Amino acid sequence: MKSLSLYNRTSTLGGIYFLFLVNRMQMHYFILIMPVYLVHSYMVWAIVVMGLLSQLNLMMMSKWFTSSYAAKGYQGFLQLFGKRAVQIFAILGFLIILLKISIVTLGYVEMLHSFIFPSMDKKWLILMILLISLFVASHGMENTLRFVVIAFLCGAWIVVLFIPFFFQADASYRDLYPLIPTEWSGQSWQGLWFIWSAFSGPVYLAFMVPWLSSNKKISKYLVIGNMLSIMEYILLFVASVLFYGSHYLRKIDFPIGYMGSYIQTSGLERIDYILISFHMFNYVFDISILLLCFYGAGRIFMRKMKERSTRIGLLSSWFVILISIILMDQWLWQTVPGQKMLLNLQIWIGACIYLLIPTILFTAVKRKESM
């Protein structure tokens, strides 16, 4: 077995990376289906409220980033929780990451499938996306984390194209009324959870602290990154409400995608093809980071932390993901209830870990310090 230095680090990444990382990790599959879950125009407040709560959560996490345990990585976790607990956490994390990668990939593939290649076998698309993610991930943790800048530059401009929807002739501001919630149902609660879960991406940063710099100034960048995400969510949501009206909106499965297809220029039509393709930068970044986390978690519970990371190890974790995605696609995703179940599961788990992990880490550090 040849060793592969996936987790080496030569330099730590500075504060601005937190901005990009937080922002990009909050933009994945969920932003594309977000309007369907929110529907009512007043749910824009849900985005704001949840965004602000997420802000608080990130502040809590920034305490963790600056703590001495975080910088030590695996050893720090051992000191905080002990070996047994860390292993249990690793197994949990292993499963959670597996689920997240699968749903993110399946969701995006679904998008590609329904817009660009409606008659292609989905397995091909899954394979292609995972292959390119493996390629990115094989350059190691540090390079992959740095790749976020490219993902940001190649993906963030998409939002700008949605600004013209605010100025369309049939976009009336009256479509946004009522502005305050007039009725509250289970669906609205779900919308709240959904947004919370959508903002949960940066929680994985908690485990990447050794590669990131941990000076005091990072909380500023965390806040700005989160702010950017909130703005993107609001912009896209309001644009979609203006474009569809909330009654029509709930009948559309990929509102953002269809809005993209409405954009037309004199040289090219169906801009959605380009937008959806370029959105891949985001996914590939997300999937490759999660792939590395997944392999890391696998190493912890297989008790291989002392050995060097290997190519076989990375490849086999990649295979696990590939197989699990295909099985999930076959068994669950292709039926409507199965797909709903998977999405709900991801919403709940995403929301829960975003609630729990920062609190657990925060209290654990506080407890150790007081001891």
Neighbours of 129 (CB within 10 A): 20
CB 202 → another protein: shortest distance, Å? 18
Q: Which is nearer to another protein, 51 or 313 (CB)?
A: 313
CA separation for the pair 14, 213 (Å, rounded): 5
- Long-range contact list for 244-247, CB < 8 A, 24+ apart? 244/35, 245/175, 246/39, 246/40, 246/41, 246/175
245 burial via Cβ count (<10 Å: 0-12, 13-18, 19+): middle
Q: Which is nearer to another protein, 188 or 200 (CB)?
A: 188
Q: Which is nearer to another protein, 52 or 128 (CB)?
A: 128
CA separation for the pair 135, 288 (Å, rounded): 8
CB 24 → another protein: shortest distance, Å? 13
CA separation for the pair 286, 127 (Å, rounded): 16
CB 149 → another protein: shortest distance, Å? 4
Q: Which is nearer to another protein, 194 or 243 (CB)?
A: 243
CB 273 → another protein: shortest distance, Å? 5
CB 118 → another protein: shortest distance, Å? 5
Q: Which is nearer to another protein, 255 or 350 (CB)?
A: 255
Interhelix angle 83-115/29-38, nearest 10 degrees: 80
**What would the two tokens of residue 62 be?**
């920034």
3-state secondary structure of 212: strand
CA separation for the pair 351, 363 (Å, rounded): 19
On whether the CB atoms of residues 151 and 143 are closer than 8 A, the answer is: no
360 burial via Cβ count (<10 Å: 0-12, 13-18, 19+): middle
CB 98 → another protein: shortest distance, Å? 19
